[in-house]
Amino acid sequence: LDDIKKLKPSVISCGGGLVLRKENVRKMKESGRIVLLSATPETIYSHVKGSTSRPLLNGNMNIPYIKKLMEERMPKYIAAADFIIETDG
């Protein structure tokens, strides 16, 4: 995150846990805008169901777990976001 300021205008895709730390949110806001791409648990599952590179979901690759994770994290995602874009439909 410390090097983001040095980049030319860019879109950076962050892991879902990045905004859980206030320090990370502060650094991202210093570097630009935060855009939350929002989707239903079903849509997210359809995108990640074959992935083995998502440590938090390995062994929990199911819609109920994704929904639970989203419910826990969404308040922080929304608080951090400058813009929210619904990606379903």
pLDDT tens per residue, range 5-54: 777 777 878 878 888 999 999 988 888 899 999 999 999 999 888 887 88
Does residue 13 sit within a domain? Answer: no
* Total domains in the fold of the chain: 1
Cite the beta strand spans of 1-89 per DSSP E.
Answer: 35-38, 83-86
CATH no. for residue 73? Answer: 3.40.50.300
Does residue 38 sit within a domain? Answer: yes
Of the candidates 1, 7, 41, 40, the residue with the CA atom closest to the CA atom of residue 19 = 1
Q: What tens digit of pLDDT does each residue of 41-60 get?
A: 999 999 888 887 887 777 77
pTM over 0.75: yes
Range of the domain at 60: 4-8+18-86
Does residue 46 sit within a domain? Answer: yes
